[in-house]
Amino acid sequence: MTTSVEPSFRGARGRAAYTSAIYGVVSIAAVVVTWQADGNDWHLVEVIAGYVVTLWMMHSYAAWVTTGHFRSWYHVVWDEFPVAAVGLPALAVAVLGQLLGWGQAATADLALLACAITLLGLQNKVVRGVGVSSHRIVMTVVFDMVVAGIILTLHVIV
C-alpha cells in the first residue's frame, strides 16, 4: 500500500481521483459563475465552502456504499479528498477578497481564474501521466475551450 497522497495514474483508483478532481474544479467554476451578489459580503465564501464540503461528503458517501467491501469512513473520505481539494484555491481567493476588500465582482472573477489555473494544472499532470501526444493535447485544449465558453457564457448571462 502506498502512503503517497498523490494518486498514481495506474489503476482505476488513480484515474478516479483525477476524474473527481477535474469534475470538482469544473463544478466549483459553475458555482462561482452562477453565484449572485446579494449584499452579504461573505456569501461567495459560504457558497464555495458549502459546495466543497457537500461535494466531498456526497462523493465519500457514494464511494463508501459502492466499494463492495467494508472500509472505514476515514479512508473513504481521504480517498475522495481530491474532489474537495480542487475547490480550495477558489475558496482561498474568496476569503482573501473579503479580507482585502476587493469587491464582490472582482473576487468572483479572481475565484474563477483560480479555478481555471487549477484545471490547467490538473490537466497538465494528467497529460504528463498518461503520455503526451499531439492528439491528446489538441483534444484537451479543444475541450477546455468548449467548457470555458460555456462557463463564460453563464458568467455573462447570470
pLDDT digits (tens, 9 = 90+) for 30-43: 999 889 888 788 99
What pLDDT does 3 receive? 42
Asked if residues 42 and 98 have their Cβ atoms less than 8 Å apart, the reply is yes
**Does residue 88 form part of some domain?**
yes
**Does residue 85 form part of some domain?**
yes
* Domain count across the chain: 1
**Does residue 102 form part of some domain?**
yes
**Does residue 77 form part of some domain?**
yes
User: What pTM does this model have?
Assistant: 0.81
Asked if residues 80 and 52 have their Cβ atoms less than 8 Å apart, the reply is no
Q: Dump pLDDT digits (tens) for 101-154.
A: 999 999 999 999 999 999 988 888 877 777 777 777 778 778 888 888 888 888
**Does residue 75 form part of some domain?**
yes
What pLDDT does 14 receive? 65
What pLDDT does 13 receive? 61
Owning domain of residue 74: 11-157
Element (H, E) at 33: helix 11-34
**Does residue 4 form part of some domain?**
no
What pLDDT does 12 receive? 54
**Cβ within 8 Å of residue 5, ≥6 positions away:** none
Where would I find the H helices in 67-133?
73-79, 81-85, 88-100, 104-130
Proportion of the chain above pLDDT 90, given as a percent: 38
Q: Kindly tell me if the per-residue pLDDT of 66 is higher than 90.
A: no
**Does residue 45 form part of some domain?**
yes
Q: Give just the sign of the alpha carbon dihedral 41, 43, 45, 46.
A: positive
